[in-house]
């Protein structure tokens, strides 16, 4: 699973990450990532060829976390 310590409810994923981030994930690479600790919100609009790309999603979450820490 993408978030081993996370959970899903009402269209939102609670990531279980130390920063308390949560996100909405759509198909073909659409993301909304919220880091309440740093008050960062990232919207990723995309049109990836595949509806789901698990290896890429892991990289995307790592990128969002890194970007959020820079604030």
pTM reported for the whole predicted model: 0.91
Q: What is the percent of the chain with per-residue pLDDT over 70, rounded to a whole number?
A: 100
- Give 33's Cβ-side CA count (13 Å radius): 22
Confidence of residue 1 (pLDDT cuts 50, 70, 90): confident
Q: Closest Cα to residue 62, out of 20, 17, 26? A: 17
């Amino acid at each position: 699973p993408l978030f081993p310590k996370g959970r899903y409810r009402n269209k939102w994923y609670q990531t279980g990450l130390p920063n308390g981030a949560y996100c909405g994930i759509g198909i073909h690479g659409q993301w909304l990532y919220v880091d309440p600790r740093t008050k960062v919100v990232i919207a990723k609009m995309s049109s990836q060829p595949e509806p789901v790309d698990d290896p890429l999603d892991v990289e995307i979450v790592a990128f969002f976390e890194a970007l959020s820490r820079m604030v």
